[in-house]
Structure 1
Amino acid sequence: MSGDPGREAYLAEGNARQARKRAAADALIRDHDGRLLLVNPTYKSGWDLPGGMAEGNEAPEDALRRELREELDLAVADLRFLCVDWVGPHGPWDDLLGFVFDAGILSPQQIAELKPSDEEISEHRFFEIPDALTLLPERQRVRAVNAIQVLEDGVPRYLRNGVAL
């Protein structure tokens, strides 16, 4: 802190006027056969990658850990960044930063203990990757495809509306 109350007030005013970004964080979670975990949300049709929206001032990886705990009672320590997608305003929504992290391969014991633990998730299932991709909404599918490519080549990606730059 500078100790100058006028400067602090000026910075606080600027902070209050600056744009706020929505952020979502999803996970690629696999089993030992390479299948991808999807969840079936109760609040919309179709399947999703596990994860969800960040709360105010919450880091994307912390949001993902919280969502996995809340929705699947799954604790994940290690996450590896794979890609981020800036999604421009669409429908009633402002822009969004959509992060995808690698949450690794679950052990058979972890898989046996997985269960929807939140009313937002009706079920979960592992799918072969081509099948999983066909079940995802388009924006999430594009991020998942790019994230899977990062698993293969190790090069993180920045996307803009689903297009790698």
Structure 2
Amino acid sequence: MSTEQEWEASYRDRDAGEFAHPADGNARQARKRVSADAVIRDETGRLLLVDPTYKPDWDLPGGMAEANEPPRDALRRELKEELNLGIPVGELLCVDWVSPHGPWDDLLAFVFDGGTLPADRARALHSVDPELAAVRFWPPTEAARLLRPYVWRRTQAALTALERGTARYLQDGR
């Protein structure tokens, strides 16, 4: 039985009035924006970065989750939509709580292990989405220069998690 089926079974044959108060509370509770990115490497250890047309700096591949979409599923969808890349999404490497900034509310940024692409697959990778101006593998030293400082700190934490096998929790990349 799936989790969804378990939930449905637990609510079956119950009075709908029982849920009026919780539903009202759910409607009033804060919602979090959620993003899901991947650390994807090539066989030489370079990191895959994307250059979005809608912001000034490079970024990790991935993007924003849709309403009620699990972060791992959001990442799979974004990789397919933007790069036509279907890969197994590995373990969670870090979660970063990003404080409100500019016009944006706070954000939970999940970073997963996207693994290592074989040389032929890495060479063939290209954008299939007009939101991306470029897609390229960069050595970590160049990635540090191209990414926003807090995104680079998040990426470093993800790389450390890969080495140590332990996921990290960050706040604003720290």
Return the TM-score normalized by structure 1. 0.94
Paired residue type of 1:48: D
Aligned counterpart in structure 2 of residue 16 of structure 1, from 19, 27, 31: 27
Residue among 125, 133, 136 paired with 2:144 = 133
Q: Distance in 2 between matches of 1:56 and 1:32?
A: 35
User: Is 1:117 paired with 2:134?
Assistant: no
Instruction: State which of 91, 109, 112 in structure 2 corresponds to 1:80.
Output: 91
Amino acid in the other structure paired with 1:88: S
Question: How far did residue 137 of structure 1 move?
Answer: 1.0
**What is the rounded CA distance, in whole Å, between the counterparts of 2:100 and 2:140 in structure 1?**
29
2:41 equivalent to 1:30 = yes
From 160, 164, 167, give the equivalent of 1:156. Answer: 167
Alignment check: 8 A CA contact 2:79 2:86 kept: yes
Counterpart CA distance in 2 for 1:76 and 1:18 is: 35
RMSD over aligned Cα, in angstroms?
A: 1.2
Name the aligned partner's letter for residue 148 of structure 2: P
Q: Give yes or no for the alignment of 1:40 onto 2:51.
A: yes
Q: Which AA in structure 1 matches 2:76? A: R
Contact 2:89/2:112 (<8 A) preserved: no
Number of matched pairs? 163
* Residue in 2 that maps onto 1:100: 111
Distance 1:119 1:145 in 2: 28
Unaligned runs of 5+ in 1: none
Percent identity reads 55
Structure possessing the higher radius of gyration over alpha carbons: 2
TM-score by length of 2: 0.89
The CA distance in 2 between the partners of 1:145 and 1:112, in whole Å, is 24
What CA distance in whole angstroms lies between the structure 2 residues aligned with 1:143 and 1:46?
A: 15
Q: Secondary structure at the match of 2:21?
A: helix
- Please tell me the residue identity of whatever aligns with 1:102: D
1:57 aligned partner, one-letter code: N
The CA deviation at 1:93 is 1.1
Alignment of 1:47-62 (within 5 A): 47-62=58-73
More displaced 10-residue stretch of structure 1: 107-116 or 56-65: 107-116
Structure 1 residue 134: Cα displacement: 1.4
Counterpart Cα distance in 2 of 1:115 and 1:90:
31
CA distance in 1, matches of 2:111, 2:39: 7
Deviation at 1:113, TM superposition (A): 2.9
Consecutive unaligned residues in structure 2, runs of 5 or more: 1-10
